[in-house]
Amino acid sequence: MSHGTTTLAFMFQGGVLAAADTRSSCSGLVACPASQKILPIHSHLVGTTSGTSADCALWKRILSRELRLYQLRHGRRLSTSGAAKLLSHMLHPFKGTELCVAATLCGWDGGEVDECHDNGGTKTDLGGYTETTKKLEKSADTSLEKVSLAKPKTQSSLSTLGGQQSFTRKKISLSGPSLFYVCSDGTRLQGTLFSVGSGSPYAYSILDQGVKWGLTVDEATSIAREAVYRATHRDAYSGNHVDIYHISSKGWTRRKREDLKEEYYREKERQERRMRQDVTLSE
């Protein structure tokens, strides 16, 4: 069965940007010109999907359910890394079957952990919040009362063989964009730039030269839009519209869906103007 798509995602200083076309194809025919290939999972996490549409929709719902249950049990969101590992472990038993899912998880992680220093300046892990967090991630069925997170003290002491040693504890904020690729064979990769689908080689030609960490939101949006347009222009299995999502510390926002046909006509006009200018200069 012939099918294809173009999805992409990359990180920059303003968060994560995800973009995709909207054409679903089957056996050389356009099955749906307005499908949604970027699926919101929760307020700070979306996933781009490539593969069989039904499989992608099903596993998105399963992942959303598990992440919501985790949040209800523990009072906090699971990190993007944890969500990618969870999805990878759930998909791995289906390796070698006809299941076809290739997802890029684009999220923003926010939280605080404790960092401790002794009076000699050496960084030490005293457990506390960090240890409790590890227990939460290992035990999904532990009650909140049993592992409630108490406020850490600013000063703490540990009894050692050599006597008393004082420690200072402070909170360190660990937040920022995160990007993972997960495939139905259990593959899980972390990176800063991914493009998946039959149109990805054409998209990479734009992304590799344009994506930089210091981009503004408008610049990143323009590059993503250009990459999807170039891919849909060359790949017969990609096309119709472009969807763009921006994930930041405030959550995800969706740009208005744009018809790529209009961009094609604008590009034609620009080419004609350049040709007329070249003819004028040659004369």
User: Does one domain contain both 23 and 94?
Assistant: yes
User: Does one domain contain both 83 and 37?
Assistant: yes
Domain encompassing residue 224: 7-109+176-282
User: Does one domain contain both 189 and 156?
Assistant: no
User: Does one domain contain both 25 and 132?
Assistant: no
**DSSP of 145-197:** TTT--PPPPSEEEEEETTEEEEEEEEEEE--EEEEEEEETTS-EEE-SEEEES
pLDDT value at position 151?
42
Q: How many domains does the chain fold into? A: 2
User: Does one domain contain both 252 and 269?
Assistant: yes
pLDDT value at position 158?
37
Positions annotated as catalytic residues are 5
User: Does one domain contain both 95 and 127?
Assistant: no
User: Does one domain contain both 270 and 186?
Assistant: yes
**Of the residues 123, 152, 173, which one is the last residue of a structural domain?**
173
232 sits in which H/E element:
helix 217-234
pLDDT value at position 216?
96
User: Does one domain contain both 188 and 129?
Assistant: no
Answer whether 10's CB lies under 8 Å from 205's CB.
no
**Of the residues 123, 140, 173, which one is the last residue of a structural domain?**
173
pLDDT value at position 273?
87
User: Does one domain contain both 119 and 242?
Assistant: no
Measured CA to CA, the distance from residue 129 to residue 110 in angstroms comes to: 15
Backbone angles phi, psi at 70, to 5 degrees: -60, -45
User: Does one domain contain both 195 and 87?
Assistant: yes
Check which CATH number belongs to the domain holding 25 and give it. 3.60.20.10
For the chain, which ranges sit under pLDDT 50? 1-2, 112-163, 167, 172
Query: Given strand 45-51, what is the order of strands in its sheet?
Result: 38-42, 45-51, 101-109, 176-183, 188-190
pLDDT value at position 166?
53
For the question of whether the overall pTM of this predicted structure is more than 0.85, the answer is: no
In a domain, 2, yes or no: no
In a domain, 1, yes or no: no
User: Does one domain contain both 165 and 181?
Assistant: no
Measured CA to CA, the distance from residue 24 to residue 9 in angstroms comes to: 19
Answer whether 161's CB lies under 8 Å from 77's CB.
no
User: Does one domain contain both 189 and 272?
Assistant: yes
